[in-house]
Structure 1
Amino acid sequence: MGLPPLKVKLKVWLETGGEMAFGLGSASLLKEIDQNGSLAAAARELGMSYRAAWGRIKDIEAALGEKLLEKKGGNKSGYRLSPLGRKMLVAYTEWEEQVHAAALRLAREKFPVPVD
């Protein structure tokens, strides 16, 4: 009986000054904010505190020099992604998928065992 195929696993992120600027967690947070229209709901969905989620947003904004979120209306009406926030989410999602596909293709070419 043969072994199951090996799996390609990798994590990709962007750094600035040796510090993470944007990665999977950042993209997941923006995706949840986009779907829920609320930072609090996004934080709950991801098992984070509101304070941790807000801190992460502020860290990313500081690294990028622009806002990721815009208020939807009044004080308690939630958030939507800014144009930069939307572009970062789309770009990261596409980039991560393409990097994974390239890594899988290369692994299949290089290794003498099945890789999925």
Structure 2
Amino acid sequence: MSGPRLKLRLEYDTPLILGPGKAELLERIDRAGSISAAGREMGMSYKRAWSLVEDMNRAFAQPVVDSSRGGTGGGGAVLTDSGRAVLAHFRALERLVQTAGAAEIAALAALLKPAD
């Protein structure tokens, strides 16, 4: 490891926990156009990926993912405008915390025992 990694986790009362895993899932759905493909890329079952998407769709005022059922023509999934906004705001917040907290992160690292 070249340095500390920051993992942002937001817990809302809706209930919703938004963290790096859900953000990555949204990015992969956006790229793959499929909840199942995104889940497979992350090593999770379709059921788990779909459950996370449902949690997010229920929590936000507008759905973050729009999906269509499979079948002869195949299904698919796309991020909605709301989903793109959620992802953009989360990634911006990660960058902000990393940048604004750089001095504190370095100070904590300086207090660690040296690596053997």
- Under a length normalisation based on structure 2, what TM-score does the superposition of the two structures give? 0.76
Q: How many residues align?
A: 109
Contact 1:13 1:20 in 2 (8 A): no
Contact 1:33 1:42 in 2 (8 A): yes
The structural deviation recorded for 1:9 is 3.1
User: Residue deviations 1:64-115, cap 9 Å, x none?
Assistant: 232111237976231110111100111111111221122223334x46949x
Match of 1:86 in 2: 84
Per chain length, whose mean CA-contact separation is higher, i.e. which structure has more relative contact order (CA < 8 Å, sep 6+)?
1
- Under a length normalisation based on structure 1, what TM-score does the superposition of the two structures give? 0.76
Match of 2:94 in 1: 96
Q: Tell me the distance in 2 between the aligned counterparts of 1:112 and 1:42.
A: 34
The structural deviation recorded for 1:28 is 0.3
Picking from 5, 23, 38, the partner of 1:9 is 5
Identity %: 31
Gaps of 5+ in 1: none
Gaps of 5+ in 2: 112-116
Contact 2:35 2:50 in 1 (8 A): yes
